[in-house]
With several copies, the nearest count.
Chain A
């Protein structure tokens, strides 16, 4: 499709859907209430939205959907760090059911016992999976969960009167940037541990960093390199000894479900991304869901309300005076809680472990295939297995051909697959991160490796094809300069018409 912008479609008078008009008797009774408002508050001209018939709207967005590569449609192992696993279709049916979709959060609890029980059960499941004492399901996604944990850490130190003193949070370079950014936003100074020669966070740097100002350590393990840090318990111990808390970013938990937990490593807090490890769909970037697990000591600070079971009924407990308060409206992203619950329930303990083991097998299998491709290398921890993902480097290929990892990614798109080049931190040169999860079959992995091999071969033998890619995508190479130029960037059609087309609306 060469689909136009929606503003270029339609004709005056066309309608996509008709809303109800006021009933005549209602109008007879109350007239037009807007007339009782000052003119300044009554909208003078309707918003300049497009006007399209219903089928025309549908067709436009269906075509856009076909111009989008959902995980369902491809072997989506190239968005490494994102845990692109299969999101079972049956779980979607539960959340589309009106007995979830139509529920209002202010309904009397007697009319929503099913959803309250489900949330309560999911908390119990995640308590066991993490080993923590309470789990909040309120955060809207992983970064919001990190924020929640930072807020809990802040509340903890504030309650002990140490917040003024403990104003530093330590994190690692390979942890998600939201760890650093949430800490900073919450008012902490951020100290980042960089990887040592083997790619592990530098333990000596940690020893040097901790002290009376240490509020907490926010750390991921395995990190996005796929390497598991075997000294993780020691990291925790060092921080604890300095009086800090330790929060485990479990974005990469998929490979270690049932194998090792936050509890065993001594963490005070942890969080999961339900849209990664627990299979809820990624939805173009949310809605997602996060889960924060904490020890009993920190439980009073968790967001309110919690769901409690009083022996007969499930109730919402909003009377939590030490709580950090609301992290989002109501109870959380309920549809994704439903999906995560269904996923765990479908698998059980054995299935969760099988998922983890298979994800790791798939990862090492793909590693075995990919490392043989010309121009690729596997930095750090030579000879050690990887857990859930591998950060590769195309440094050699770059030196040989001048092409960048990004170019290879654009060319990979021509083969109908993803390859995500946005790999903070930019420490590994020419990075590529692959994370196959448990969802892909052996044939899928072979196919993906073959695509990479073909792209690498082209890079060496026919570099121009790669340099000018994509060739089969919906659009061609994008000009990036306007995106950083305030004079022409265009975040809306209004702005584009004014700034680029020179129209005066």
Chain B
């Protein structure tokens, strides 16, 4: 009774000794070593890997992970004022229910027959996003908004055959870093302030492939000059690439309606958990212009008929664009990216519908305005740009003794997360970033203002 039986690992059923033996016998091999005959001795690792002892049971694994997780603080949404590219919005339970379905979570790259659901869900995502962006073409998601921006710019580069990329206004420096890496050697970046005159000047030098601007900038400011940048770009024969916060588009005009050729951004606000920055996914949209469609590196799913009249099927539009099909002859490269986040965003948009998107946009605009107003009332705090309209993110300037870092630390001590110092010299910075969403109540915002009133001297 108490004889020990082998502890076959539950993830590796055929490592059960009897099974392994029988399989080897069937294949006619003495040992698995025979299958490694082609690996030269000199390349063999002559010792076991030096890894921690395995935990031996699922229960102990859970306990171990619990110990690690217990050293992370999940902040209630009303206590967190962090944004700037990653947001805590409400994730409807139905979104999680769908993306956690085994069928979606563990599927990969099946054909449109056995994986019809994935094709339809992603095509619907493209279509829903197309309505939000007011475009006719949206790609299967790429990795994140950084990649979306970088690729949109290279698409513009290929479409125009030009070299210079004019980037307008306050842009996340990390995003610029990514763009810089991605266009290195091919394109030149020209960073200009959010001012039509500056854009005009930059374009005057010629060879501009694109003007890249943002509907809401890195500071959350709605850039009211966007229509002008777009017009200037077109006048210069460049494409207009617009970056958007997708949740703002219930309230703000989609740049495509203003003439933008390419719209890009990050899906994360649309029903995807922040996950310490793991929830990002990128979108690119454009008109159904053959010249632009040909430049997408990503997959584009299309709706097609089948052999049965009235039945919808799905497949890859213009597959020969891709590196899957033609390797280095394709457009950039494509691989596994962030499809499930696309499904999440699709479910989110379906749940929200036109009125939900409109309402949430209005609520965030209102909460942001309220937060700016309340914080500006705190002595020693002033708004960086008091006359602008902001969406979610905004920046304040401290006029007192304490640095932004000190103030953020003091907020943290009160359980409030926000006021991230702005600028390269974080130690001496006097500006701090805040963000509010639809999840903040008036009381949450008042609590922040009250805390700042105590802290800022």
A to B CB contacts below 8 Å, 26 in the list: A11-B13, A16-B10, A18-B58, A19-B90, A22-B370, A32-B366, A43-B250, A46-B354, A49-B131, A70-B101, A70-B104, A92-B105, A104-B274, A140-B144, A144-B335, A177-B328, A181-B334, A192-B327, A287-B279, A332-B278, A351-B9, A385-B38, A413-B113, A413-B114, A483-B315, A491-B302
Q: What residues on A are CB-neighbors of B363 within 8 Å?
A: 19-22
Query: Smallest Cβ distance from A81 to chain B, in angstroms?
Result: 9
Taking a contact as CB atoms under 8 Å apart, the answer to whether B254 and A364 are in contact is: no
Given contacts A418-B114, A499-B288, contact A102 B318 (CB under 8 A): no
Given contacts A5-B312, A186-B185, contact A66 B103 (CB under 8 A): yes
Q: What residues on A are CB-neighbors of B254 within 8 Å?
A: 43
Q: How many residues of A contact B (CB 8 A)?
A: 231
Stretch from B14-22, B194-202, B205-213, B396-404 contacting the other chain: B14-22
Q: Which residue of B lies closest to A439 (CB)?
A: B11
Bound-state Cα–Cα, A338 to B266, Å: 22
Query: Smallest Cβ distance from B135 to chain A, in angstroms?
Result: 8
Q: Which residues of A19-68 have CB atoms within 8 Å of chain B's CB atoms?
A: 19-23, 25-27, 29-30, 32-34, 36-38, 40-58, 60-68
The digit string for B212-250, where 1 denotes a CB below 8 A from any CB of A, is: 000100000010101100000000000000000000011
Question: Quick check: is B204 within 8 A (CB to CB) of the other chain?
Answer: no
Taking a contact as CB atoms under 8 Å apart, the answer to whether B39 and A475 are in contact is: no
Q: Which residues of B371-418 have CB atoms within 8 Å of chain A's CB atoms?
A: 373, 389, 408-409, 412, 417
Bound-state Cα–Cα, A422 to B109, Å: 9
Query: Smallest Cβ distance from A40 to chain B, in angstroms?
Result: 6
Taking a contact as CB atoms under 8 Å apart, the answer to whether A385 and B35 are in contact is: yes
Query: Smallest Cβ distance from B76 to chain A, in angstroms?
Result: 9
Taking a contact as CB atoms under 8 Å apart, the answer to whether A14 and B306 are in contact is: no
Taking a contact as CB atoms under 8 Å apart, the answer to whether A334 and B103 are in contact is: no
Given contacts A46-B250, A329-B146, contact A282 B108 (CB under 8 A): yes
Stretch from A93-101, A202-210, A394-402, A458-466 contacting the other chain: A93-101
Bound-state Cα–Cα, A259 to B275, Å: 34
Q: Which residue of A lies closest to B74 (CB)?
A: A98
The digit string for B264-281, where 1 denotes a CB below 8 A from any CB of A, is: 001000000111111111
Question: Quick check: is B423 within 8 A (CB to CB) of the other chain?
Answer: no
Q: What residues on B are CB-neighbors of A25 within 8 Å?
A: 442
Q: What residues on A are CB-neighbors of B107 within 8 Å?
A: 68-71, 282-284
Q: What residues on B are CB-neighbors of A354 within 8 Å?
A: 9, 12, 15
Bound-state Cα–Cα, A48 to B10, Å: 18
Q: What residues on B are CB-neighbors of A409 within 8 Å?
A: 111
Taking a contact as CB atoms under 8 Å apart, the answer to whether A66 and B113 are in contact is: no
Taking a contact as CB atoms under 8 Å apart, the answer to whether B356 and A15 are in contact is: yes
Given contacts A58-B97, A112-B72, A357-B32, contact A104 B88 (CB under 8 A): yes
Bound-state Cα–Cα, A225 to B213, Å: 46
Taking a contact as CB atoms under 8 Å apart, the answer to whether B60 and A20 are in contact is: yes
Bound-state Cα–Cα, A491 to B140, Å: 10
Q: How many residues of B contact A (CB 8 A)?
A: 222
Question: Quick check: is B427 within 8 A (CB to CB) of the other chain?
Answer: no
Extra pairs beyond A58-B98, A72-B105 (19, CB < 8 Å): A16-B351, A22-B370, A27-B366, A41-B253, A42-B1, A49-B352, A66-B103, A89-B93, A90-B61, A101-B275, A104-B80, A104-B86, A111-B417, A258-B49, A365-B23, A418-B111, A420-B110, A478-B306, A495-B137
Q: Which residues of B140-165 have CB atoms within 8 Å of chain A's CB atoms?
A: 140-141, 143-147, 154
Cβ-neighbour of A141 out of B73, B85, B249, B335 (below 8 A): B335
Taking a contact as CB atoms under 8 Å apart, the answer to whether A40 and B44 are in contact is: no
Given contacts A182-B333, A261-B45, contact A26 B367 (CB under 8 A): yes
Query: Smallest Cβ distance from B428 to chain A, in angstroms?
Result: 16
Q: Which residue of A lies closest to B107 (CB)?
A: A70
The digit string for B49-81, where 1 denotes a CB below 8 A from any CB of A, is: 111111111111110110011111111000010
Question: Quick check: is B82 within 8 A (CB to CB) of the other chain?
Answer: yes
Question: Quick check: is B178 within 8 A (CB to CB) of the other chain?
Answer: yes
Taking a contact as CB atoms under 8 Å apart, the answer to whether A361 and B146 are in contact is: no
Given contacts A20-B439, A90-B58, A492-B130, contact A329 B97 (CB under 8 A): no
Question: Quick check: is B168 within 8 A (CB to CB) of the other chain?
Answer: no
Bound-state Cα–Cα, A9 to B167, Å: 41
Bound-state Cα–Cα, A103 to B44, Å: 41
Q: Which residues of B331-370 have CB atoms within 8 Å of chain A's CB atoms?
A: 332-341, 343, 346-347, 349-363, 365-370
Given contacts A104-B274, A259-B39, contact A49 B222 (CB under 8 A): no
Taking a contact as CB atoms under 8 Å apart, the answer to whether A141 and B50 are in contact is: no
Taking a contact as CB atoms under 8 Å apart, the answer to whether B350 and A6 are in contact is: yes
Question: Quick check: is A194 within 8 A (CB to CB) of the other chain?
Answer: no
Q: Which residue of A lies closest to B10 (CB)?
A: A54
Taking a contact as CB atoms under 8 Å apart, the answer to whether A65 and B56 are in contact is: no
